[in-house]
Structure 1
Amino acid sequence: MTILVTGARGNVGRRVLQRLYAAGHSLRASGRNPAELDVPEGVETVALDLNDPETFVAALAGVSKVLLYAEPEGINAFLDVADKAGVEHIVLLSSDTLYLDDVESDPLAHHHKIVEDALISSGLPYTILRPGAFCTNAFLWSHALKAGDTIDQVFAESQVAPIHEDDIADVAVVALTEKTLENEILHLTGPESLTFRRELEIIGEVLGRDIVVNDLTREEGHAAMSPFVEADILRSLLNQWETGVGVTAVTSATAERITGKPARTFREWAEEYAQYLVA
């Protein structure tokens, strides 16, 4: 049977696809425009828009397992078609915003909660991955790093535990290929709590540059980011970052427990992707 990887161009989906391909699994990669997918030879591609139920039947035909991105609008129809198609297991890439105190009022958390609730209620076997901040979020500094050594950052003392996307992908592959993680919800983080200031220090050390952080107020941060980030999402991010100032981020050893390997550090990520941060 075939494993369907949705979001095959994404930071996690692409990595999962590569691992499953190397292991010899039958794969189908999906995207709104499958012609834009860059997949290994022999991997089937299919059009799938998680907001458009008309694309679900063809995408799920003959599929046994799914790596699913969280999209609430069409989730009930998707799960209904998946059930009728005989899908045996869905691995959902969700978010650790579900651990916030008031999930219903936070746009990011509520978005993912709708999908999680629908999946759990569907009766289909599932594994829910709740990663925190991605290491690749550091690419948001890339433009400024190319321009110079001064980086504007709102709430620079806010702490996160950034996770390497390879660790998420490794856990997802275990969930998709083994039965050990069925009906589990997994909190995934990197191994250490870091402030945004410390992340930039690490990047500077790797690049051999002295990075200066220009602290922004919330209002200045909002003004700087609003042209690029949807208003509700920006409000959620700023709220989380403000709450995280001076607070050690929760870390989880889940990735190490499942994969048997220490979780990759932010420094390891920075060393791996340094050239792309300034390319």
Structure 2
Amino acid sequence: MKNTNILLAGSTGYLGSYLLKVLIEKQNQVIAIARNPNKVEHRNEDYLEVKQAEVTNPETLRDICKGINIVISTVGITRQKDGLTYMDVDYQANMNLLKEAVKSEVQHFVYVSAINGNFHRNLKIFEAKEKFVDALKSSGVAYTIIRPNGFFSDMKDFLRMANSGRVYLFGSGNQKFNPIHGEDLARAIVDMLDENTNEITIGGPDVLSLNDISKLALSALNKPIKIVHMPDFLRRITIWGLRIFTSAKTYGPIEFFLTLMAEDNIAPPFGNRHLSDYYNQEAKNFI
């Protein structure tokens, strides 16, 4: 797609920054909204306009979609902070955008959720995301739900464990999934903007087990392969205990990762960036 007026929400985040880069490369007219405009990268006077707004504050979004053809929202949080909950951000902030999109008769709304979110509505993070997905589907606006597998950036936790000399896994470690690099995902999203597809599940080119990922992380840091497998019942007890004795702010991200990593999550592959290369590059930051 080229020369289209696109509003990008979440432009300073991991995926949003790559989307901004690719959209500008494709010569789209982009309005990037950001709470802190100075954090917006890939400045280009010909194709980019930055507007200061807070998606959690609807007053700052008034008429933000005027003249816009497509809205792309990567708005969402993994860890709750600044007093904001998943419902405040993943649901209500996106609802604020959707209301403006409906008012301005936007042609297409693209929302980035996560793989299998529709099957895990019991998790706090997905409860909010899928509530918005339901609202988007019933809004009357043409929509696309993007359901990516884990981001490479999420895989840094394995590097952090590996840096201590051991990686700890629940269960056998044979659970498989194919995480995707942010730029590969951004290119896939931009490529499909011309298509009439309601939902897309997507992952990276390499299907890896948790054992494979652990070995890659340890090898990138030149550590001996030491993987400790803990009984899976400890994972279930951990989730239960956190739900009982801590707030959603604490247990939300932990139950998200522990639940999804307990099962296979294999998405249709896309892209040409590999986790091994990403780890080798990121490992330099641990030296």
Q: TM-score, normalised by structure 1?
A: 0.79
Unpaired segments ≥5 residues, structure 2: 76-89
Which residue of structure 1 lines up, in the alignment, with residue 192 of structure 2?
175
Identity of paired residues, percent? 20
The count of residues paired between Structure 1 and Structure 2 equals: 259
Q: Pairwise mapping of residues 33-182 of structure 1 onto structure 2 (< 5 A)?
A: 33-42=36-45, 43-70=48-75, 71-100=90-119, 103-146=120-163, 148-155=164-171, 157=173, 158-176=175-193, 179-180=194-195, 182=196
Which residue of structure 2 lines up, in the alignment, with residue 258 of structure 1?
none
Whole-Å Cα distance in 2 between the matches of residues 227 and 202 of structure 1?
34
User: Residue 43 of structure 2 aligns to which amino acid in structure 1?
Assistant: P
Q: Could you report, residue by residue, the CA deviation over 1:153-199 in whole angstroms, capped at 9, with x for unpaired residues?
A: 445714332122222111111133xx22x242001122343232311
3-state SS in 2 of match to 1:130: strand
User: Residue 270 of structure 1 aligns to which amino acid in structure 2?
Assistant: Y
How many Å apart are 1:228 and its aligned residue?
11
Whole-Å Cα distance in 2 between the matches of residues 36 and 249 of structure 1?
33
3-state SS in 2 of match to 1:55: helix
Change over 3 Å in CA distance of 1:156–1:36 after alignment to 2: farther
How many Å apart are 1:72 and its aligned residue?
0.7
User: Which ranges of 4 or more aligned residues in structure 1 deviate by more than 6 Å?
Assistant: 220-223, 226-229
Q: Select the residue among 27, 32, 52 that pairs with 2:30.
A: 27
How many Å apart are 1:17 and its aligned residue?
0.5
Q: Could you report, residue by residue, the CA deviation over 1:229-266 in whole angstroms, capped at 9, with x for unpaired residues?
A: 63233223323333x2xxx442314x3xxxxxx55332
Change over 3 Å in CA distance of 1:111–1:155 after alignment to 2: farther
Which residue of structure 2 lines up, in the alignment, with residue 8 of structure 1?
11
Change over 3 Å in CA distance of 1:58–1:80 after alignment to 2: closer
How large is the Cα RMSD of the aligned pairs? 2.9
Which residue of structure 2 lines up, in the alignment, with residue 230 of structure 1?
250
3-state SS in 2 of match to 1:104: coil
How many Å apart are 1:142 and its aligned residue?
4.3
Whole-Å Cα distance in 1 between the matches of residues 217 and 251 of structure 2?
29
Q: Could you report, residue by residue, the CA deviation over 1:193-220 in whole angstroms, capped at 9, with x for unpaired residues?
A: 3232311211333443324234454367
Q: TM-score, normalised by structure 2?
A: 0.77
Change over 3 Å in CA distance of 1:204–1:25 after alignment to 2: same
